[in-house]
Structure 1
Amino acid sequence: MKKNYAIVFELIEKLYRSNYLKQEEIIYLLDNMNDENKELLKRRAHETRVKFYGHKVFMRGLLEFTNYCTGTCSYCGISSLNTKIERYRLKLDEILECIQLGYNLGYRTFVLQGGEDPYYTRSRVEEIITAIKIKYPEVAITLSIGERSYEDYSAFYKCGADRYLLRHEMASRRLYNKLHSNMSFDNRRKCLYDLKKIGYQVGAGFMVGLPGQTSEDLAEDFIFLKELEPHMVGIGPFIPHKDTKLGREKGGTVKDTVTMLALTRLFLPEVLLPATTALGTLDPLGREKGLKAGANVVMPNLSPISVRKKYSLYDGKVCTGDEAAECRRCIEHRINSAGFNVDMSRGDNINWRRI
């Protein structure tokens, strides 16, 4: 036991110093960490985020503008496989109203998120980006609308989009193919590399606690992230949705997710790392636990209250109260109480410049 403890300690310190571990070392770490090791890991992750970003927590206003989706992800509540969900799309004027509300509250980064909705053609997305940038030229626009063509991505970037979030979901081909019928593992990766080539700040990410997920699978996630070197990484626990194929499965935990956040901070020291809504759904203090383990971004919800419950990726999603962007003071108080400072600037990755 002592021998295991010593090896794990050395691996954490090695990762802290070099920001790299081999795949077999990651697997060993995941399989042998005890609670004391995890506390050390979180401390090292916190020290690393302070070194690069101080105690700042960057705020993004999240706008979920469509829940139509052609995707067939087995775990997702807005998947095309879910026939029970009430679908919606926001009109351009509704989107702009939400942006204005957020802007007046001090937000300078907006995340436009939706399913893979064919209604939003290249020209319609360009229209949204242009309308926002004309009125608020200094804000950052993040898109999160799934897999598109290189030409679409390039057009959106030229129009003024700055960032693109596309979780790789899982780096294990076996697990990906099992959970995504009629979707391409290779195309998703290609999209991420296309986005980097164009010049976006790129966000990847994965889920923790999926049925059948192994330490080997998670190790592949870290190896892939190290290879891709995204500017942002979104990590959340798997939370089952009752109207999906995985609706009766056991979900992931806050504890395991926080461990993955800490590891990600050490692998990618300069990454922008959100403490996700899903953490706050499982644990009232989940977001704070994420921030103390290396996370440095929070994305409160700016979507109209009338549609928030309809954008249900998983069951029990928190969408009002402290999670809502309009409750800025509540959020700020919670972040300050956890020992951090709210930063309402664009909050770009320190290594990114528009090309």
Structure 2
Amino acid sequence: MRRSEISTLLFETPWPELRQYAVRVLEREKGSHVFVRGLVEFSNLCWRNCRYCGLRGENRALVRYTLSQAQILKAASVAVDAGVDTIVLQSGEYTIDPLWLAQIIDAIRSSHRVPITLSVGEQPEVAYALWKEAGAVRFLLKHETSDRSLYAALHPGHNLQERLDCLKKLAKLKYECGSGFMIGLPGQHPESLVDDILLARRLRVSMCGAGPFIPQENTPLGRSESGSVPMALRVLAVLRIVLPWANIPATTALATLDAECGQRDGLLAGANVLMPGFTPMGFREHYRIYDNKNRVDMAGVQAAIEEAGRTHALKPLWKTQSTLPKALASA
């Protein structure tokens, strides 16, 4: 699909027509099943100073934490018992002890036999390799914006090529790689969203997350306006059409800006993944990437799936089987 065709879909095609197109692709490529990934935010430490993110190292107002191995394993167990099909371990970008995290990955895989996704930012290749050996199968590393000048302005001391090089290293190690970007970033030109979609396609990512920008008060962009929910839904629909093979989440940011319908509408736009949070109480409020984050729980996930007329498997089937169910193993 040419750039001009993607631009026409994104900015000119009437919404009912665009959504119907995306749903046809979704039904053909993915069916009606929605995957449910359990998110454990195990640390909010971060050494970067991204201008939009509340975890930025210079945010002195944030209470910092790192969960213990026991706390992480307990949160993962709660998530599996609730019926998630994947555990997502997420943190800010800091120097993680590779062996420490490898032990956690191995323990989760040994106890629960569910796929593990990591989202811990740019790390040494040797660490990526160790975590893959320990049992991690997916890695989420969002490129945030394909506009190189905007990327540099938003990420002091860093550039987009560093991000892309990490994604290449992860792909070389045979991770299923995910990327993604924000919609409505201050300074973002609308047409750069087309470039974001094209970049995700060139990378052949297995997952692509796209959600609206939401400001966090203790950042340089804390007084900026949030991104548009309608535009975010259009982006999801176009992603489904252009990346028919990819798993696409209806993001928590959608649920934050539209608590009643955001994730349901994301599913109706072509998404097929939801990510409820399982970070322990007493810590989750300190994982403050943006303000007023909607803490999506399993009840909200089930409601969104049912309201969208989709299907799910929220019972932990793998506990009674010798191998993962085919639908989960190929997710």
Matches within 5 A, 1:150-169: 150-169=125-144
> Which among 104, 108, 119 is matched to residue 132 of structure 1?
108
Aligned partners of 1:30 and 1:215 also within 8 Å: no
C-alpha distance in 2, partners of 1:195/1:125?
17
**Which position in structure 2 is the counterpart of 1:333?**
303
3-state DSSP of counterpart to 1:45: helix
Alpha carbons of structure 1 residues 169 and 349: separation in structure 2 relative to 1, 3 Å: farther
**Which position in structure 1 is the counterpart of 2:320?**
none
Aligned partners of 2:9 and 2:18 also within 8 Å: no
> Which among 222, 225, 228 is matched to residue 197 of structure 2?
222
Aligned partners of 2:9 and 2:238 also within 8 Å: no
Matches within 5 A, 1:113-132: 113-118=90-95, 120-132=96-108
- Which segments of 5 or more consecutive residues in structure 1 lack a partner in the other structure? 1-19
Alpha carbons of structure 1 residues 26 and 54: separation in structure 2 relative to 1, 3 Å: closer
Alpha carbons of structure 1 residues 349 and 241: separation in structure 2 relative to 1, 3 Å: farther
How far apart are residue 331 of structure 1 and its match?
2.7
**Which position in structure 2 is the counterpart of 1:185?**
160
> Which among 58, 75, 89 is matched to residue 81 of structure 1?
58
Alpha carbons of structure 1 residues 290 and 196: separation in structure 2 relative to 1, 3 Å: same
C-alpha distance in 2, partners of 1:210/1:330?
27
Aligned partners of 1:72 and 1:183 also within 8 Å: no
Aligned partners of 2:85 and 2:328 also within 8 Å: no
Matches within 5 A, 1:52-71: 52-71=29-48
How many pairs are equivalent? Answer: 320
Aligned partners of 1:270 and 1:349 also within 8 Å: no
Deviation per residue, 1:98-142 (Å, 9 max, x gap): 111112222231000000122x21111111111212212x21000
C-alpha distance in 2, partners of 1:124/1:44?
45
Deviation per residue, 1:211-232 (Å, 9 max, x gap): 1111231121122111101000
C-alpha distance in 1, partners of 2:199/2:302?
34
How far apart are residue 174 of structure 1 and its match?
1.2
C-alpha distance in 1, partners of 2:49/2:255?
26
C-alpha distance in 2, partners of 1:155/1:68?
21
C-alpha distance in 2, partners of 1:349/1:289?
27
C-alpha distance in 2, partners of 1:27/1:215?
10
C-alpha distance in 2, partners of 1:331/1:238?
22
- The alignment's C-alpha RMSD in Å is 1.7
3-state DSSP of counterpart to 1:343: coil
**Which position in structure 2 is the counterpart of 1:4?**
none
**Which position in structure 2 is the counterpart of 1:302?**
278
- Which segments of 5 or more consecutive residues in structure 2 lack a partner in the other structure? 318-323
How far apart are residue 349 of structure 1 and its match?
8.2
Alpha carbons of structure 1 residues 253 and 349: separation in structure 2 relative to 1, 3 Å: farther
Identity %: 38
Aligned partners of 2:115 and 2:136 also within 8 Å: yes
Matches within 5 A, 1:43-54: 43-54=20-31
Aligned partners of 1:66 and 1:117 also within 8 Å: no
How far apart are residue 289 of structure 1 and its match?
0.7
Task: Output the TM-score relative to the length of structure 2.
Answer: 0.92
C-alpha distance in 2, partners of 1:268/1:96?
34
C-alpha distance in 2, partners of 1:28/1:109?
35
**Which position in structure 1 is the counterpart of 2:233?**
258
How far apart are residue 330 of structure 1 and its match?
4.5
Alpha carbons of structure 1 residues 180 and 330: separation in structure 2 relative to 1, 3 Å: closer
**Which position in structure 2 is the counterpart of 1:248?**
223
How far apart are residue 343 of structure 1 and its match?
3.0
